[in-house]
Amino acid sequence: MSHANAALTPRQRLRLARLVVDHGWPVSRAAEQFNCSWPTAKRWAERYAAMGQAGMTDRSSCPHRVANRTPQQLVRKVVHLRWKQRLGPVAIGTKLAMPASTVHAVLVRCRLNRLHHVDKRTGEVVRRYEHDRPGAMIHVDVKKLGNIPDGGGWRYVGRRKGYRNRASTPDKPHSSYRNPLIGTSYVHTVIDDHSRVAYAEIHGDETAATAVGVLRRAVSWFAARGVTVERVLSDNGSAYKSHLWRDTCREMNIKAKKTRPYRPQTNGKIERFHRTLADGWAFQRFYATESARRNALPAWLHHYNHPRPHTAIGGQPPITRLTNLPGQYI
């Protein structure tokens, strides 16, 4: 390998080789001229004669063939155990009578030393998808949140005071003083698959009639922004399996699709949105009442759609994937 003080850089090697091959200099004289050994001068001359100027560059010192390389059949067993059982190098080595260091080297070579791109439950390679235009598919789901009692919930004021606030909140169904219930908020969420632009409404139930009403208003909301909804993907909740949902989608010329049972990863975009919704809005700060939290949702949705960068679409806000909108870049 050439370095700062090397006698033979690639350019000097070429000059040496040309003197020997093209001008007929003796190898010993060329070696003396360039202050290197006779075998070194002979090697560069022979390489120049065989490969030309391209042969003067450095070559890798790695061997062409590894005698003790792990057999391919054993590699497949390591990969199978990693994918299907999600075992570590030590456990795999114990099963296959291999050193853990060898197993780790195989996993690194197969890019399985980290499992961020492998499904946690099935062991299958994560398959990501994205439709090519806005409206090609929207995802719908419901996020359930416990209502906040007057005075604040236990997350911010502590469990003892939180229970007292529950018990003193008027016009709420209470089950007992020790564990009073104050109802549930159902956040019906809609997100566009291509742009990640989101729409949400808060209701007191998740019935088919409520879900259909949210769908109609969401489709109108997207239509006002130049997006025509073609498909809707939902889970297998009772509202989305109802005849009312099916008939409404047919009436609106929208193809209704369902996720595979017990497979929320298929609807992963909206599941991830629910996590962002909870962190950025529902539990982001202290709310003294439930109405205060509900009133904060529209402002947070605007922040999510407009200025907030989205890592899944190159760090751009979701609204940038919808073109020619009034106030798009506000």
pLDDT tens for the 330 residues of the chain, in order: 566 667 788 888 999 999 999 998 999 999 988 888 999 999 999 999 999 888 888 888 887 777 788 889 999 999 988 888 888 899 999 999 999 999 999 999 888 888 766 666 666 666 677 888 899 999 999 999 988 888 877 777 787 877 777 777 765 554 444 445 578 899 999 999 999 999 999 999 999 999 999 999 999 999 999 899 999 999 999 999 999 999 999 999 999 999 988 777 788 899 999 999 999 999 988 998 889 999 999 999 999 999 999 988 888 999 999 876 655 555
What's the pLDDT tens digit per position in 23-33? 989 999 999 88
Burial 18-49 (b: 16+ CB within 10 A, else e): ebbbeeebebeebbeebebeeebbbebbebbe
Phi-psi category of residue 185: left, alpha or beta, with phi > 0 → left and psi -120 to 50 → alpha: beta
- Dist CA 218 CA 229 (whole Å): 9
What's the pLDDT tens digit per position in 118-166? 666 666 666 677 888 899 999 999 999 988 888 877 777 787 877 777 7
- Dist CA 6 CA 34 (whole Å): 11
Q: Which pLDDT score is estimated for 4?
A: 60
